[in-house]
Amino acid sequence: MAELYLSSSPHIHSGETTDKVMRAVIYSLLPACGVAIYFFGLPALLVLLTCTFGCVATEAICNRLFGSKLSIADGSAALTGILLALNMPPNSPWWLALLGAVIAIVVGKQVYGGLGYNPFNPALVARVVLLVSFPVHMTSWTTPSPLGSGIDAVTTATPLGEWKTAVMLTGKLPENFSAGMGDYFVGNMAGSLGEVSALALLLGAAYLFWKKIISWHVPLTFLLTVVVFSGLFWLVDPSRYPNPLFHLLTGGLILGVFFMATDMVTSPVTGKGMIIFGFGCGLVTVLIRLFGGYPEGVSFAILLMNAATPLIDRYTRPRVFGTLAEGKS
């Protein structure tokens, strides 16, 4: 008889493993990557490849330097790379993308001890570090130039940026403001690689819901909070504040809601905690968009709530079976 295995129970497993989870999230981002390449062409592809391979290579180098086990097979580094790329402007220079990848893995992840120990979403850490260090590079947007369309990409502003500038200068919404909702939905606008196509992102999100990798708690509360708060302001002064649909479809909201805020490592573990987290993200996003210096606030909102996650977890412990809620006897 061959040698027997002994262990503490249970002796069966669901079969779902970390690398499978990471791979599923990567698959879910492929439509968005495809749309980005379609609208922004070769530069977008270069940013994607640089970020992804940059992250994987940095992770491998860190593993070596820190003497830890090679962890690139779990797919988390590649996922960080793709998420980072989707947060970069399409015409980012290669060195900026590479720098972002190194920052994401080293500062965002490995200094804390690698996967599972990082308090902040690594891709967002990199994006924000780049944004404050290279504001010009990180905010120079181009118009989409679909493959084969022959249209040259020209420098322009994102819809959110356009609105912010208009409001600052004139105190009013720009002319022809609500014209582009359909374009915004499919992604025919200026922005980061992954900000542009709500459609492609929603497709990926649907896949994640179907695979039960993300739950409704964070995305739904995040979106609802954005809609409610931006809606309130819109109702008060529609000539100054854009309508909620504009908020939903532009900027990094959809990407942030479904792919960044739902990052398991950096969001709460309890249902109640996730709801608080989603609400906080939505509130901070609207406040920054409407009153902050930056046109976009999703990244900052999520990072801020990442920091609050341990606290949220602490105060949203579930009621243990057989114990009564405090105050009752």
Partner 1 sequence: MLAALALGFAAKKFAVEVDPRELAILELLPGANCGACGYPGCSGYAKMLAGGDKIAATCPPGGAAVMDKIANIMGFAPISADPKVAVVMCQGDNRKAKDKYIYLGLADCQAAQKVADGPKQCPGGCMGLGTCERVCPFGAIEMTPDNLAVISRKKCTGCGKCVASCPRDVIKLAPLDATTHVLCNSNDKGALVRKYCEVGCIACQICKKQAPEAYEIENFLAKVVYENYDQAPAAVEKCPTKCIRDFMTSYPEGSSFAEVMVPLKQKNEAA
Partner 2 sequence: MAMTNLKTFPGGLHPADNKQWTAAKPVETVPLPQELIIPLSQHIGAPAEACVEVGTLVKKGQVIGKAKGFVSVPVHASTSGEVVAVEPRLHPSGRSLPSVVIKPDGEDVWLENLPKADPATLDADQIKDRLRDAGIVGMGGATFPAHVKLSPPEEKPIDTLIINGVECEPYLTADHRLMLEEPEKVLQGVDILRRVLGVNNIYIGIEANKPDAIAVMSEKCAGSGVEVVPLEVKYPQGAEKQLILAITGREVPSGGLPMEVGVVVQNVGTTAAAADAIINGYPLIERNCTVTGSGINEQKNLRIKIGTPLQHLVDFCGGLNGDPAKLIMGGPMMGMTQLSLGVPATRGTSGLLIFRAGDIHVAEPGPCIRCARCVRACPAKLLPTTLAAYTRLNMFEEAEEYNAMDCIECGCCSYSCPSLIPLVQSLRHAKAAILEKRRKM
Among positions 9, 67, 175, 327, the unique one binding partner 2 when judged by CB under 8 A? 9
- Environment class of 186 (CB within 10 Å of its CB; exposed 0-12, middle 13-18, buried 19+): middle
For the chain, the distance separating the N- and C-terminal CA atoms, rounded to the nearest angstrom, is 58
14 binds partner 2 (CB under 8 A): yes
Size of residue set near partner 1 by CB under 8 A:
6
Q: Give the x/- contact pattern for partner 1 in 8-37, rule: CB under 8 A.
A: x-----------------------------
Minimum separation from the CB atom of position 96 to partner 1 (A)? 42
Map 242-265 to HEC letters: CCHHHHHHCCCHHHHHHHHCCCCC
Nearer to partner 2 by Cβ, of 117 and 210: the residue is: 117
Whether 102 contacts 145, CB under 8 Å: no
317 binds partner 2 (CB under 8 A): yes
Whether 192 contacts 40, CB under 8 Å: no
310 binds partner 2 (CB under 8 A): no
Minimum separation from the CB atom of position 188 to partner 1 (A)? 53
Minimum separation from the CB atom of position 69 to partner 1 (A)? 14
291 binds partner 1 (CB under 8 A): no
Q: What b/e readout covers 33-56, taking b as 16+ CB neighbours within 10 angstroms?
A: bebbbbbbbebbbbbbebbbbbbb
**What residue 116 binds from partner 2, partner 1, none (CB within 5 to 8 A, per partner kind)?**
partner 2
The tally of CA atoms less than 13 A away on the side-chain side of residue 156 is 17
φ and ψ of 224, to 5 deg: -60, -45
Query: Which residues bind to partner 1, rule: CB under 8 A?
Result: 3-8
Query: Which residues bind to partner 2, rule: CB under 8 A?
Result: 1-2, 4-14, 16-18, 20-21, 74, 76, 113-117, 264-267, 269-271, 313, 317-323
